[in-house]
Amino acid sequence: MKKLDHELSMKRLPKSPTGIKGFDEITGGGVPKGRPILVCGGAGCGKTLFAIEFLVRGATEFNEPGVFMSFEETNEELTINVASLGFDLKDLIRRKKLVLDHVHIERSEIEETGEYDLEALFIRLGYAIDSIGAKRVVLDTIESLFAGLPNQLILRAELRRLFRWLKEKGVTAIITGERGDDKLTRQGLEEYVSDCVIMLDHRVNEQTSTRRLRIVKYRGSMHGTNEYPFLIDETGFSVLPVTSLGLEHVVSNERVSSGISALDKMLEGKGYYRGSTVLVSGTAGVGKTSIAAHFAEAACKRGERVLFFCFEESPNQLIRNMLSIGIDLEPWVKKGLLQFHATRPTLYGLEMHLAVTHKAVNAFKPSIVILDPINTFVVSDKDIEIKTMLMRIVDFLKANQITALFTSLTSNESPLESSEAGISSLIDTWILLRDIELSGERNRGMYVLKSRGMANSNQIREFILTDHGVELREAYIGSKGVLTGSARIAQEAKESAELLIRKKDVERKKREIEQKRNALKAQISALHFEFESQESEAIKMIEIEQNQIKRLKLDKLQMAESRHAQIENVNIKKIKDK
Amino acid sequence: MKEKATKVKNWPKELDAILSSHDNDKYILRLYVTGSTCRSVLALMNLEKICEEYLEGRYELQVVDLYQNPSLAKGDQIIAAPTLIKKLPLPFRRIIGDMSNKEKVLLGLDLRDKLK
């Protein structure tokens, strides 16, 4: 099996890495090794830069020296132009890693007097290649020959020969070409260079320009077919492999605190999942940025890196404003844990933002990214574009296990849940902030609209910004909805008053019962006394009666005795004793 | 030829150099060829014929084989072969091809005008 794999990889098209950020990813390793590659595009789209970076990276990173044959810019111009990207061509030339050759063709100087060929160019190029053992060649822009040499028949035949010759030489060559009206290049170079064609584009949409790269064809290799935005900045060219990376990212069970303990409690007491996407949405001034700042501060306290993109405020303004609610972000910035990226969303197009985000994230390697707010992108009003862009950002961040917090501004007219550029499906935890207008006040309410994978609280809390941060209060449900602010305070007062009354009631009742008991006790004892007196009287009566009975009997006996009457079975004495 | 040039009034001074070189009639030519291909040979033959005819005794012709001196191609901005460089008299000219079109060669060597 392993052997088979090996054999397959041997048969695969060998590739030459360009070293251009992102490009090697979308082409699966770079441009085809030892073959000519056509890079075409309109004026100012970055063809020359792509080519020169290919050479510079080759020379510095892959030990593949290169020859740059320029038909347009002079060597001096070229050196100065690319110095702004940090490429020191002079040094490379000195180290024999690069040869610059400016081919100058002045139409007015030339007189054609018969048959000729471009063998001299071949020799010249061949000499340059051999002088440093070059593996890479750039011809920029060979189409200039068409302007200098009138005989197109010869030229075309010679170009065909040139590309074949380059292949035979085994050099990887980039040939640039200006974009034509209905063809890829003005002179139809794609006819000769057909192994790999890369198209660069520079489009202006809604007054913002976006650079894009597309691989039109790539023989013998898989490649991404989309248009990829790319970026030219102080570090050179970067292509962004920004198509959806799929949903195969690893998930984490780890939780990260939101920085607000009450909010954590609403989320099972633990906070967000690491690597999840959190959306904080709400109307203007409800405290979205404050929640974001809390999150950032908490992360910095844990020693994690936070990348904060602010599209509305400057970093200094944000730091100052957050200080007013007791969040001091400045020390974290100084420590290098917190990095701000402040740009106006209108500065560049959506793809460019995506590109900048990618780049910044790759450079800073944060564990938390905050975008505040995302809907400032909605200038272009193209929901689908924004959605795909955000999806790309979300996927990218998820793939890197980065927890993302987006804030989103909802306008008052639109329904709260629908407005977020249709991105709700991308969001794992959605915290909704809303203002509640009641009894002449505007207060803030907060609830967790959804939170995937956790038993979140369903309660609406009142959200208060204090000088020591965000606080969440229990909200009261009144007849007109949630009671907040002074209405809540009034409700609280009312309830405590009611409680007092109840307490007093209870005490009064207790006292009443006590009194009743006492009264009853008194009654009982009175009756007892009455009974006792009656009882003693009755006993007395009984005694009297008994005595009388005794008396009578005694009398009878005495009478009988005096009469000496015989009394049956009666012993008088006995009776007497009694 | 000389008479013709002096007839012109208000001749720009900058062109004096060109004029004087014309006057001196010193032609410095360099022919770049790529080996001994038939095109190279043809070019050389044609050129020599023209030179002998029009510039007899007042030209210097140097023939460079690029295969042997490839580094020279860069200095003289050679891309096509054969290429004839007219270094002097000014203006600088490059004449490409096998020199079979005589008229054009003469045009390139600035000999065309003067013949008229």
Domain boundaries, chain A: 9-239, 261-477
Please give the DSSP secondary-structure letter assigned to residue B59: E
* A141: closest CA of chain B, how far (Å): 14
CATH topology of domain A261-477: Rossmann fold (3.40.50)
Tell me the pTM.
0.65
**Interatomic CA distance for residues A66 and A69, integer angstroms:** 10
Q: Which of A253-262, A374-383, B62-71 has the lowest mean pLDDT?
A: A374-383
The better pLDDT of the pair A453, A478 is held by: A453
pLDDT at residue B60 above 90?
Answer: no
Q: What is the pLDDT of residue A384?
A: 66
Q: Which of A47-51, A497-501, B57-61 has the lowest mean pLDDT?
A: B57-61
Closest partner CB to A124 (pick from B46, B70, B100): B70
The percentage of chain A sitting over the pLDDT mark of 70, rounded to a whole number, equals 86
Which residues partner with A463 through β-bridges? A472
Cβ distance of A124 and B73 shorter than 8 Å:
yes
Residue A326 CB coordination number (10 Å): 14
Q: What is the pLDDT of residue B20?
A: 58
The percentage of chain B sitting over the pLDDT mark of 70, rounded to a whole number, equals 74
- Of residues B105, B101, B32, B36, the one with CA closest to residue B69: B32
How would you label A350-365 residue by residue, b for 16+ Cβ within 10 Å and e otherwise? bbbbbbbbbbbbeeee
The residue in chain B having the minimum alpha-carbon distance to the alpha carbon of residue A154 is: B80
**Interatomic CA distance for residues B111 and B116, integer angstroms:** 9
Closest partner CB to B81 (pick from A116, A127, A145): A116
Q: What is the pLDDT of residue A1?
A: 44
pLDDT at residue B90 above 90?
Answer: no
Mean pLDDT value of segment A167-191: 81
Q: Can you tell me whether residue A163 is helix, strand or coil?
A: helix
Residue A440 CB coordination number (10 Å): 8
CA distances from A535 to A318, A424, A526 (A): 97, 92, 14
pLDDT at residue A570 above 80?
Answer: no
Active site residue A72: yes
Q: Can you tell me whether residue A203 is helix, strand or coil?
A: strand
A522 pLDDT band (50/70/90 cuts)? very high
Q: What is the pLDDT of residue B1?
A: 42
CA distances from A5 to A8, A10, A11, A221 (A): 5, 9, 10, 17
B4 pLDDT band (50/70/90 cuts)? very low
* B90: closest CA of chain A, how far (Å): 11
Is the CB of residue A112 less than 8 Å away from at least one CB of chain B?
Answer: yes
**Interatomic CA distance for residues A484 and A440, integer angstroms:** 11
Q: Can you tell me whether residue A153 is helix, strand or coil?
A: helix
Structure tokens at A55: 């050479």
Residues in chain A with CB shorter than 8 Å from the CB of B105 are: 111, 113
Q: Which of A156-165, A328-337, B66-75 has the lowest mean pLDDT?
A: B66-75
Cβ distance of B98 and A121 shorter than 8 Å:
no
Torsions phi, psi of B74, nearest 5? -65, -45
Cβ distance of B81 and A120 shorter than 8 Å:
yes
Q: What is the pLDDT of residue A382?
A: 60
Closest partner CB to B73 (pick from A109, A117, A120): A120
Indicate if A261-477 has the same CATH topology as A9-239: yes
Cα diameter, chain B: 48
- Asked if A474 contacts A468 with a C-beta cutoff of 8 angstroms, the reply is no
Q: Pairing state of beta strands A227-233 and A236-239?
A: antiparallel
Total residue length of chain A: 578
Total residue length of chain B: 116
Q: What is the pLDDT of residue A47?
A: 85
* A157: closest CA of chain B, how far (Å): 13
pLDDT at residue A194 above 80?
Answer: no
Cβ distance of B98 and A116 shorter than 8 Å:
yes
B2 pLDDT band (50/70/90 cuts)? very low
Closest partner CB to A112 (pick from B70, B91, B97): B97
**Interatomic CA distance for residues A114 and A116, integer angstroms:** 6
Residues in chain A with CB shorter than 8 Å from the CB of B96 are: 110-113, 116, 149
**Interatomic CA distance for residues A287 and A294, integer angstroms:** 11
* B13: closest CA of chain A, how far (Å): 22
Q: What is the pLDDT of residue A489?
A: 78
Q: Which of A107-111, B10-14, B100-104 has the lowest mean pLDDT?
A: B10-14
Mean pLDDT value of segment A447-457: 81
pLDDT at residue A536 above 90?
Answer: yes
- Asked if B78 contacts A124 with a C-beta cutoff of 8 angstroms, the reply is yes
Residue B78 CB coordination number (10 Å): 26
- Of residues A158, A211, A165, the one with CA closest to residue A187: A158
Q: What is the pLDDT of residue A362?
A: 82
Per-chain mean pLDDT for chain B: 76
Residues in chain A with CB shorter than 8 Å from the CB of B101 are: 112-114
pLDDT digits (tens, 9 = 90+) for A400-442: 888 888 888 776 555 555 555 556 777 888 888 877 777 777 7
Mean pLDDT value of segment A106-128: 84
pLDDT digits (tens, 9 = 90+) for A545-566: 999 999 898 888 888 888 877 6
pLDDT digits (tens, 9 = 90+) for A131-149: 888 888 998 888 888 888 8
Q: Which of A386-395, A419-428, A447-456 has the lowest mean pLDDT?
A: A419-428
Mean pLDDT value of segment A9-16: 71
A176 pLDDT band (50/70/90 cuts)? confident
How would you label A184-205 residue by residue, b for 16+ Cβ within 10 Å and e otherwise? bbebebbebbebbbbbbbbeee
Sequence-ordered list of residues with C-beta below 8 angstroms from that of A327, at least 6 positions apart, any chain: A290, A293, A294, A297, A469
The residue in chain B having the minimum alpha-carbon distance to the alpha carbon of residue A150 is: B96
Q: What is the pLDDT of residue A540?
A: 93
The residue in chain A having the minimum alpha-carbon distance to the alpha carbon of residue B110 is: A111
Q: Which of A170-174, A294-298, A523-527, B98-102 has the lowest mean pLDDT?
A: B98-102
Active site residue A507: no
A25, A191, A268, A312: the catalytic one is A312
Per-chain mean pLDDT for chain A: 81
Mean pLDDT value of segment A81-101: 85
Q: What is the pLDDT of residue A124?
A: 87
Q: What is the pLDDT of residue A478?
A: 60
**Interatomic CA distance for residues A529 and A527, integer angstroms:** 5
Q: Which of A308-317, A334-343, A345-354 has the lowest mean pLDDT?
A: A345-354
- Asked if A217 contacts A60 with a C-beta cutoff of 8 angstroms, the reply is no
Q: What is the pLDDT of residue B116?
A: 45
CA-based Rg of chain B, rounded to a whole angstrom?
A: 15
The residue in chain A having the minimum alpha-carbon distance to the alpha carbon of residue B47 is: A113
Single-letter amino acid code for the residue at B10: N
Cβ distance of A116 and B67 shorter than 8 Å:
no
What element of type H or E holds A322? helix A315-323
Cβ distance of A120 and B78 shorter than 8 Å:
yes
Domain A9-239 -> CATH class: alpha beta
